[in-house]
Chain A
Amino acid sequence: MILRLAIASLFARALTVGMTILAIGLSVALFLGVEKIRTGAKASFADTISGTDLIVGARSGSVQLLLYSVFRIGNATNNVTWDSYLDIAGRSDVEWIVPISLGDSHRQFRVMGTTQAFFEHYKYRQGRSLAVSDGVIMDDLFDTVIGADVAATLGYSVGDPIVVAHGLASFTEHKDQPFRVSGILDKTGTPVDRTVIVSMEAIEAIHVDWQNGAQVPGQSTPADAIRQMDLTPKAVTAALVGVDSPLQTFSLQRAINEYGQEPLLAILPGVALQELWGIVGIAETALLAVSAMVVVTALIGMMATIFSSLNERRREMAIFRAMGARPVVILAMLVLEAMVMAAVGALLGLVLLYGGLVVAQPILDSAFGLWLPIEAPSLREAWVLLGVICAGAIVSLVPALRAYRMSVADGMMVKT
């Protein structure tokens, strides 16, 4: 009955109570949303590469190597010579190795040269392999396989010709050697979706008439002639390596890092990811702290609302007291009321979160490649909601204690 009366009392003040609940709901939705994006981004990053034991590149920073080789963020400072690559590939503890050659682009998308082995060994999201949704994996020199986003953004289908530009965001295009789309990959939610994949030899082929980053004037080798040339790569940007046994990972890593002929760097993708989290962790924590402060602000707003309602509710409290309610009942009612408001606010926040997710999920996915799964609230989120309700109760103790003192002093007589 007391709960019902408390709820009826809340309904009687529907406007202010509604505003308070809306503020709590929005703040909770913001907090959970930030949390969702944070974990979603982490999962997205972590899902980008799996099954690769080491990433090898020219010596730079481990995070930098991870970013340019896997996430296509930033550029390599240097390449790895083909000889070194073959040296590593020939080691007995290397089970497989996939070369990657970056540096060219098609429209806004990066072009990556690699081998058939890439499709065999590149794994994402706990060991899933790449698959073509349309066409086949390239088998000709001038064939390309494009990611799902490339196809969707540029409207390409199998058989379309495409022209690769030298460098990134460059207008000098390798017009002489037009490529043909041989296959389109399934969407993966990884940077592969935004990549144009060609063979290692193709990267060499498009640079046949180029020297020092510029086309040699008047020189244009026909495609047929290029096919006859030796297109062995001179260098690779990075390589993905798998080892026979996990135990060998560290010794191989050390061997590559101490490689005499050339300064090289081998990293464990998981360790580099941890390092990356370390860097973005501060921003993450700040973002979370700000959204937590928003929740606190909303709860303090609720406290203010309860405070301002106390005077007009003195009569109500006097009635309860006259009917035999102990002062602690008055206190409990106000706390209960606050908990109801916080609980409804928290649920509203959850509804707003899921509503927002339904709307934002495809937008985030296509714009940032960030896939936020819509799933039942996690235990962590349940704890957050419970925490909001408890915090509401604690915050409401301040006005409730004041009401307690008022009702002790007033008794059942209110001089108004």
Chain B
Amino acid sequence: MPDPVLDIVDVAYRWPGRAGFSLTVPQLSIAPGEAVLLLGESGSGKSTLLSLICGTILPDEGRVRIAGTDTTTLSGGARDRFRAEQIGVIFQQFNLLPFGSVLDNILLPLRFAPLRRNRVGSAVGEATALCAALGLPPDAVSAKATALSVGQQQRVAVARALIGKPPLIIADEPTSALDANSQAAFLDVMFAQIETHNTALLMVSHDPRLGARFDRVISMYDIAQVERAVA
């Protein structure tokens, strides 16, 4: 079995300044190319878990291994660089810089990830191809980000996450801002692309109906414990 793309072992995190509020994740592992749906209500600690995976916060204990590297041993700047190289991130909404063009937005992570940039070859060509594959209109690349519909913006976010083929994509409720039809269409094109690129996907949602498309469905309640001090 190949090395997992994400491997979390015995991670514990306490929020600074909020005594008694802590998150522990004993074990979470994702294989390369695997699509995992993580279900959790708001307040279940999933945002914190995503921050731990992305390395914007450090666990107090345990280790977070991404593509074979323990990110907890890296310095802050190195973790930011590592994130840029290894992880594509898709937010719930407002993914794009409103003042940039679609192309600016797609190429943004490459600016911080020289290795990923070198993997791409022709960045503009790759961005254009991804846009086409994600069903965006041909002239969308040069359009201003805010000129697109919300659904189109989410597709641009997928293109941005996929460019340069990072091994892992983190998506935080990417469909919650879309209506039911758009959701299905969005998931169709996203899955087609992550399968093409053999990218692992960790998608967070509170909607269990999406589960059928994923290789595995896990719940925050099963993998993590959140403790809150009783006031």
Contacts and interface: CB of A to CB of B under 8 A. Distances in A.
Please say whether chains A and B are actual partners in one complex: yes
A328 B77 CA distance: 9
Interface string B53-74: 0101100000000000000000
B112 A316 contact: no
A324 B100 contact: no
Given A1-B111, A323-B89, A325-B80, A413 B51 contact: yes
Interface string A304-323: 00000000000110111111
Contact of B99 (A2, A11, A328, A413): A11
A89 interface: no
Nearest to B80: A326
A385 B50 CA distance: 46
A343 B108 CA distance: 26
Contacts of B138: none
**Interface class of chain A by DSSP:** helix
Nearest to B107: A1
A382 interface: no
B135 to A, nearest CB: 23
B192 interface: no
A328 B112 CA distance: 12
B47 interface: yes
A12 interface: yes
B108 A412 contact: no
B214 interface: no
A228 B10 CA distance: 123
A5 B97 contact: yes
Given A1-B107, A5-B100, A11-B99, A324 B51 contact: no
Contact of A1 (B54, B83, B94, B104): B104
A413 B50 contact: yes
Contacts of A2: 111
B112 A325 contact: yes
A411 B54 contact: yes
Counting chain B CB atoms within 10 Å of each CB, the highest count among A320, A328, A413 belongs to: A413
B113 interface: yes
B65 to A, nearest CB: 18
A326 B89 contact: no
Nearest to B95: A319
Interface in B165-220: 172
Contacts of B94: 315
Nearest to B108: A323
* Chain B contact patch, size range: 20 to 34
Interface in B78-121: 80-81, 83-85, 89, 91, 94-100, 104, 107-109, 111-113
* Chain A contact patch, size range: 20 to 34
Counting chain B CB atoms within 10 Å of each CB, the highest count among A1, A319, A323, A328 belongs to: A323
A200 B78 CA distance: 89
B76 interface: yes
B97 A324 contact: no
A316 B56 contact: no
A132 B105 CA distance: 72
A326 B54 contact: no
Contacts of A328: 77
Given A2-B111, A11-B99, A323 B54 contact: no
Contacts of B80: 321, 324-327
Contact of B100 (A8, A321, A326, A411): A8
A126 interface: no
Given A1-B111, A2-B111, A321-B56, A326 B77 contact: yes
Nearest to A321: B56
A5 B160 CA distance: 16
A75 interface: no
Nearest to A5: B100
Contact of B109 (A11, A315, A324, A411): A324
Contacts of B113: 324
Sorted nearest first, the 8 A-B pairs with minimum C-beta distance are A324-B84, A411-B56, A324-B112, A12-B99, A322-B89, A8-B99, A323-B109, A326-B80
Interface of A: 1-2, 4-5, 8-9, 11-12, 315-316, 318-329, 411-413, 415
18 contacts: A1-B104, A1-B107, A5-B97, A5-B108, A8-B100, A315-B94, A316-B98, A319-B108, A322-B83, A323-B109, A324-B83, A324-B85, A324-B109, A324-B112, A324-B113, A325-B84, A329-B112, A411-B56
